[in-house]
Amino acid sequence: MDRLVIDHVSKHFGKTAALQSVSLQIGHGLFGLLGPNGAGKTTFMRVLATLLAPDSGSMRYKDIQWGKQPERVRNILGYLPQNFNVFKNISGYECLDYIGVLKGLRDKKQRRAQIETLLERVNLTAEAHKKTGHYSGGMKRRLGIAQALLGNPEIIIVDEPTAGLDPEERIRFRNVLREVAAGRIIVLSTHIVEDIEATCSSVAVIKKGIATQFDSLSKLAQEAAGHVWLWKVRPEQAVDLQSKVNVISSTTTEDHVELRVLAKESPSREAIPVSPTLEEGYLIWNQR
Ligand SMILES: Nc1ncnc2c1ncn2[C@@H]1O[C@H](COP(=O)(O)OP(=O)(O)OP(=O)(O)O)[C@@H](O)[C@H]1O
């Protein structure tokens, strides 16, 4: 299978090391780049989209080299930037038509057919001729993914696409992403673990410009293996413990509270070790 290979890519802004020797191998499907604010996600996405030149390192896919053939790269790329904005006074259809022309889709009939298929795919057919100024945040984001898909690119870059969306729109957007991932590479950046859990099959975490790749989501979850404890306590005890141990979540039942606690050693004889979730694996990795 063809892989997108990122080899020791670094990027500095003055003294800030935004990317430090990032090496990743990305296959078909949805790949998540997970990291806190300021970790370097947008910088990485912009480098991948050829909008920013790295200081060093290389990227390639098939026989296409990023540093040497940016035009060829752009022909196989679709990009949904973090702040995707379009003119408010044009409709979703007109927006796609305009971007389609810019992407070199010259034949009007073929362009229309492609736009109609894409609008259908992102559930915007009914709103296609409404002005984008009247679109909700989620609709704009779905229009954004449609424009990234114009020209049927092999690689799609999606930067923090669910930030600011309400839960329903977030779920809808993730469903669209999953549907369009077949047969291509989608690189998705986010600081929301649930985005990764709901869509991706492999993941890299990034902090202070340093990225670590995991072959599967469960490998990242396993970072917290042996560190997560389930502890059933009385409600009054639970209040007291909140400030004493690292409580990740709590579930209240009729007569007790179940705490999930993150700790290197058992916090109590009553606490039992449990399998970690992806979020817990990420928390532990992030605290290192
Ligand atoms: N154009 C720039 N000039 C100077 N510093 C920059 C520039 N772009 C990014 N940085 C710095 O590089 C680091 C990484 O920023 P980046 O925007 O890539 O992070 P991020 O993970 O996308 O964060 P966020 O989720 O907040 O967008 C930060 O310290 C940021 O301040």
Is the distance from the beta carbon of residue 38 to the nearest atom of ligand 1 less than 6 Å? yes
Amino acid found at 187: V
Is the distance from the beta carbon of residue 83 to the nearest atom of ligand 1 less than 6 Å? no
Q: In the structure encoding, which two tokens stand for residue 199, read together?
A: 């869509």
Is the distance from the beta carbon of residue 13 to the nearest atom of ligand 1 less than 6 Å? yes
Q: For residue 85, how many other CB atoms are within 10 A of its CB?
A: 9
Closest C-alpha to ligand 1, atom 16 = 40
Closest C-alpha to ligand 1, atom 23 = 38
Residue 84: per-residue pLDDT: 87
SS3 for the chain, per residue? CCCEEEEEEEEEECCEEEEEEEEEEECCEEEEEECCCCCCHHHHHHHHCCCCCCCEEEEEECCEECCCCHHHHHHCEEEECCCCCCCCCCEHHHHHHHHHHHCCCCCHHHHHHHHHHHHHHCCCHHHCCCEHHHCCHHHHHHHHHHHHHCCCCCEEEEECCCCCCCHHHHHHHHHHHHHHCCCCEEEEEECCHHHHHHHCCEEEEEECCEEEEECCHHHHHHHHCCCEEEEEECHHHHHHHCCCCCEEEEEECCCCEEEEEECCCCCCCCCEECCCCHHHHHHHHHHC
Is the distance from the beta carbon of residue 190 to the nearest atom of ligand 1 less than 6 Å? no
Q: In the structure encoding, which two tokens stand for residue 251, read together?
A: 């579930």
Asked whether residue 1 carries a pLDDT value surpassing 80, the answer given is: no
Residue 98: per-residue pLDDT: 93
Higher-confidence position of 164 and 135: 135
Each residue of 94-148: pLDDT tens digit?
999 999 999 989 999 999 999 999 999 899 999 999 999 999 988 999 999 999 9
Is the distance from the beta carbon of residue 41 to the nearest atom of ligand 1 less than 6 Å? yes
| Averaged confidence pLDDT in the chain | 94
Q: Is the ipTM beyond the 0.90 threshold? A: yes
Q: Which residues pair with 288 in a beta bridge?
A: none
Is the distance from the beta carbon of residue 42 to the nearest atom of ligand 1 less than 6 Å? yes
Residue 169: per-residue pLDDT: 87
Q: In which residue are the tokens 């604010």 written?
A: 37
Say if residues 75 and 50 touch (Cβ distance below 8 Å): no
Centroid of ligand 1 to alpha carbon of 45 (angstroms)? 11
Each residue of 5-47: pLDDT tens digit?
999 999 999 999 999 999 999 999 999 999 999 999 999 999 9
4-217: CATH number: 3.40.50.300
Is the distance from the beta carbon of residue 19 to the nearest atom of ligand 1 less than 6 Å? no
Closest C-alpha to ligand 1, atom 30 = 38
Q: Enumerate the domain spans of the chain.
A: 4-217, 223-287
